[in-house]
Amino acid sequence: MDLKKFIADLAAGYRKLTGYEAGRKAGHDAGRAGYEAGRKAGHDAGRAEGYQAGRKAGHDAGRAEGYEAGRKAGHDEAMTPPEPPPSPEP
């Protein structure tokens, strides 16, 4: 048996006895779960923030458009000459 292989086998057996591999896998799994939870929370927060920003922009644009339309209608109405009174019928 080669000395390097013997040492590798010995180290692998030691890791099994001490639970190194199980702990490493558990740590990896926990870290991955934390990463996924953080990623989802960030995604949801960004989505909500974008939704609110879009909603506000749409609201503001609609409000400005409505204001301009009302202003124009009022201006047009003020510029229209009044209708003449009805003529008396004979």
Least confident of 17-21, 45-49, 62-66, 79-83: 17-21
Helix (H) or strand (E) holding 16: helix 3-18
Rg over alpha carbons for the chain, rounded to the nearest Å, is 38
Q: How confident is the prediction for the chain on average, in pLDDT?
A: 83
Q: Torsion angle, CA of 32/11/9/12, rounded to 10 degrees?
A: -30
Average pLDDT rounded to a whole number, residues 26-47: 89
Q: How confident is the model at residue 74 (pLDDT cuts 50, 70, 90)?
A: confident
pLDDT the model gives residue 1: 61
pLDDT at 18 over 70: no
Tell whether the torsion through CA atoms of 66, 69, 74 and 77 is positive or negative: negative
- Checking if the pLDDT of 90 tops 70, the result is no
pLDDT tier at 17, thresholds 50, 70, 90: low
Q: What is the mean pLDDT of residues 32-48?
A: 90
